[in-house]
């Protein structure tokens, strides 16, 4: 696979937007031109189920005229289509209300240095090789245990992309990226009981992926471990979130620190700068500059220079996530987070993993799956369906399912007891297993 357009051609598309917008009377304008392609293969029960090749491109246009904003987009890069998209954005701007907070980020905030973050590593794999890899992954899952008698499939994907952002401050920048994946979901049965679980590996560099056989084996082992879950009584008990779920648990706080939630006053962390909202040993860094990491970026979606900064320091909130617009609404300065957070690094407090925390906990619940969206962003009330394992004497006693865990995030974050160093780096939130002192558990 290779990208269809050269970087220069993609840049020319973005610059053509700015030229047309200026001629059309825009005070300010910005454009983002993207291209990408990918291969995705899914195998189920040893047979090829899906084979997809995708080639995509897109152009987003935003113009500002006397404080009025207009947007348009197109998937056609011809000069006629570009002109039509810009003209449509200009037309839309005539009908929108003026907004004194709208507009490009201040020119002084725009990035002037673009660091190389080593984000682009295309995978030279074809459909035949990807299919063989997926089959090996699924076969390894079946080989774990004779009780594994079904599969939801194994998938292999390889993608590469590029984008260029340009605005009328004179900024033009862009970079290429890659993302590769191997995943598998297995089903285990015993009597009338049936359980499924999965595992996946993802990285920008194909050579850094876990072996396909290891992915299948882990998916199989996880499915078997969930067989024959027992009921537990309703109670309050310590809870451990595995690394795969701890990121989402912390993510509720991150969402509450986004500018949109703050200026709309729909955040349970409103006006929290300088206040202690987490246990005193919790530290969270937003780092855009980790080579090869998925959420790394040399500049944000508005061309603003990114920065490595503390979000939570010794339990105290130190930073928000602001775009130019949300910063103006709040009377603050953009933080270089238009488009979201970068790599969030949650500092471990102990050397150890879920099993280590289980020994420390003694008795309680390990959560391995969450269901539902029961989180109130305004109040912090938290209630989710869950499944996992019950721990007695520091060891897993049995699987549990059909339970609900609940609490208020303002209390739960204060009651974090320990964070392991078994960090999951497959997404934007790099965090290990997390032990919470107590949560309400509704059993059967």
Among the three residues 175, 199, 225, which one is the final residue of a domain in this structure? 225
Question: What does each C-alpha distance from 212 to 27, 137, 186, 206, 370 come to in angstroms?
Answer: 53, 5, 14, 11, 26
Q: How many CB atoms lie within 10 A of CB 122?
A: 19
> What does the pLDDT read at residue 69?
97
Query: CB of 359 within 8 A of CB of 366?
Result: no
Question: So what's the pLDDT on residue 3?
Answer: 86
Indicate whether 293 and 307 sit together in one domain. yes
> Of the candidates 202, 225, 248, which is a domain's last residue?
225
Provide φ and ψ at 206, rounded to 5°: -60, -35
pLDDT of 396? 96
Closest by Cα among 366, 361, 360 to 387: 366
| Residue 365 included in any domain | yes
Three-state secondary-structure class, residue 217:
helix
> What is the pLDDT at residue 90?
97
Residues 280 and 163 placed together within one structural domain of the fold: no
Q: Are residues 295 and 384 in the same domain?
A: yes
Overall domain count for the chain: 2
90 and 144 belong to one structural domain? yes
Instruction: Assess whether 430 and 295 both reside in one domain.
Output: yes
Cα 282 vs. chain centroid, distance in angstroms? 21
Q: Which domain holds residue 221?
A: 7-225
- Bridge partners for 378 per DSSP: none
Residues 103 and 161 grouped into a single domain: yes
Residues 305 and 195 occupy one common structural domain: no
Task: Please indicate, yes or no, if residue 1 is contained in any of the structural domains.
Answer: no
Exposed, middle or buried, 325 (CB in 10 Å: 0-12/13-18/19+)? buried
Q: What share of the chain is helix, strand, coil (3-state, %, to 5)?
A: 25, 40, 35
Q: Are residues 141 and 211 in the same domain?
A: yes
Residue that finishes a domain, picked among 197, 225, 253: 225
Ranges in the chain, pLDDT < 70: 1, 444
Q: Which two tokens stand for residue 124?
A: 């030279």
Residue holding tokens 């979000």?
Answer: 311
User: Do the strands 47-65 and 28-44 form a parallel or antiparallel pair, or are they unpaired?
Assistant: antiparallel
Let me know if residue 297 belongs to a domain: yes
Q: Give the integer Cα–Cα distance in Å for 230 and 221.
A: 18
Contact 90, 64 (CB under 8 A): no
Q: Which residues contact 348 (CB under 8 A, 6 or more apart)?
A: 419, 420, 421, 423, 432
State the burial class of residue 120 (Cβ atoms within 10 Å of its Cβ: 0-12, 13-18, 19+): middle
Residue 372: predicted pLDDT: 85
Both 209 and 275 in one domain: the answer is no
Evaluate whether residue 404 is within a structural domain: yes
**Distance from chain centroid for Cα 144:** 30
Residue 319 covered by a domain: yes
Q: Is the residue at 2 inside a domain?
A: no
Does residue 73 lie in a domain region? Answer: yes
Same domain, 204 and 236: no
pLDDT of 192: 84
Q: How far apart are CA 426 and CA 428, in angstroms?
A: 7
Neighbours of 99 (CB within 10 A): 14
Looking at the fold, whether 203 and 243 belong to one and the same domain comes out as no
Q: Give the strands of the sheet with 429-430, arranged side by side.
A: 316-317, 309-313, 284-287, 343-346, 429-430
Considering the domain boundaries, does residue 314 fall inside one?
yes
**What residues are paired with 221 via a beta bridge?**
none
What CATH number is associated with residue 126? 3.30.2290.10
Question: 406 and 298 in one domain?
Answer: yes
């Amino acid at each position: 696979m290779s990208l269809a357009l050269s970087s220069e051609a993609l840049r020319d598309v973005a610059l053509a937007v700015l030229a047309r917008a200026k001629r059309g009377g825009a005070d300010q304008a910005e454009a983002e031109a993207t291209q990408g392609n990918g291969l995705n293969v899914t195998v189920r029960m040893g047979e090829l189920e899906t084979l997809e090749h995708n080639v995509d491109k897109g152009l987003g246009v935003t113009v500002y005229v006397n404080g009025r904003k207009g947007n348009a987009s197109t998937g056609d890069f011809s000069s006629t289509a570009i002109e039509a998209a810009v003209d449509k954005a200009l037309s839309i701007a005539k009908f929108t209300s003026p907004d004194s907070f709208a507009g490009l980020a201040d020119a002084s905030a725009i990035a002037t240095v673009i660091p190389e973050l080593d984000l682009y590593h295309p995978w030279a794999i074809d459909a035949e090789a990807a299919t063989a890899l997926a089959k090996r992954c699924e076969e390894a899952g079946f080989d774990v245990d004779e009780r594994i008698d079904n599969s939801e499939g194994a998938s292999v994907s390889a993608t590469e992309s590029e984008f260029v952002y340009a605005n009328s401050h004179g900024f033009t920048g862009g970079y290429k990226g890659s993302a590769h994946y191997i995943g598998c979901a297995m089903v285990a049965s015993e009597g009338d009981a049936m359980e499924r679980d999965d595992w996946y590996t993802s990285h920008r560099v194909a050579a850094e992926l876990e072996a396909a056989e290891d992915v299948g084996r882990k998916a199989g082992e996880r499915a078997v471990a969930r067989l024959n879950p027992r009921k537990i009584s309703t109670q309050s008990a310590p809870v451990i979130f595995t690394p795969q779920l701890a990121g989402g648990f912390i993510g509720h706080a991150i969402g509450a620190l986004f500018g949109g939630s703050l200026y709309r006053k729909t955040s349970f962390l409103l006006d929290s700068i300088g206040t202690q909202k987490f246990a005193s040993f919790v530290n969270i860094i937003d780092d855009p500059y980790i080579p090869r990491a998925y959420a790394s970026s040399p500049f944000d979606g508005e061309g603003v220079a990114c920065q490595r900064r503390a979000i939570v320091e010794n339990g105290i909130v130190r930073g928000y996530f602001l775009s130019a617009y949300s910063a103006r609404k709040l009377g603050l300065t953009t933080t270089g987070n238009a488009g979201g957070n970068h790599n969030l690094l949650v500092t471990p407090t102990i050397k150890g993993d879920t099993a280590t925390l289980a020994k420390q906990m003694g008795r309680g619940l390990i959560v391995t799956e969450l269901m539902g969206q029961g989180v109130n962003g305004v109040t912090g009330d938290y209630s989710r369906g869950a499944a996992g394992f019950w721990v007695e004497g520091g060891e897993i006693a049995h699987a549990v399912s059909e339970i609900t865990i609940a609490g208020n995030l303002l209390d739960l974050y204060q009651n974090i007891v320990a964070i392991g160093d078994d960090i999951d780096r497959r997404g934007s939130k790099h965090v290990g297993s997390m032990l919470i002192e107590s949560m309400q558990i509704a059993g059967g």
